[in-house]
Structure 1
Amino acid sequence: MTTPFEYGLLEDAFQVDCGLTYSGAAVNVVSGLGHLNGQQVDVLAGGKVYRGLPVASGQVTLPGGATAAKWQVGLPFQSEANTLELDVGGQDGSIIGRRKKVAKIILSLLETDTTGLQVQSFLRGRWEPVRMPSIVAADGKAKLYTGNVDVPVDDSWEGQGRVRIRHVNPTPCTIRAFTPVFDAEP
Structure 2
Amino acid sequence: MSSRQKSFFATPSEVFSWIEESTSLLSLSAVLRHNPGQALEEWDGSKNSLLTSLFIYLAQSKTDLRTVPANNIMPGKLGWIRVVPPRLDQSRLSETVIQSRSDWWDNAIRSTCENRATHHLYAKITKVISPILKSPVHAKNIITGRTSSYQDMGYTDGAVELFNSGHGWVQEGTSNVIFSPRIFSE
TM-score range, shorter chain: under 0.3
Higher helix share: 2
TM-score if structure 2 supplies the norm length?
Answer: 0.23
Query: Which of the pair has the greater relative contact order for Cα pairs under 8 Å at 6+ separation?
Result: 1
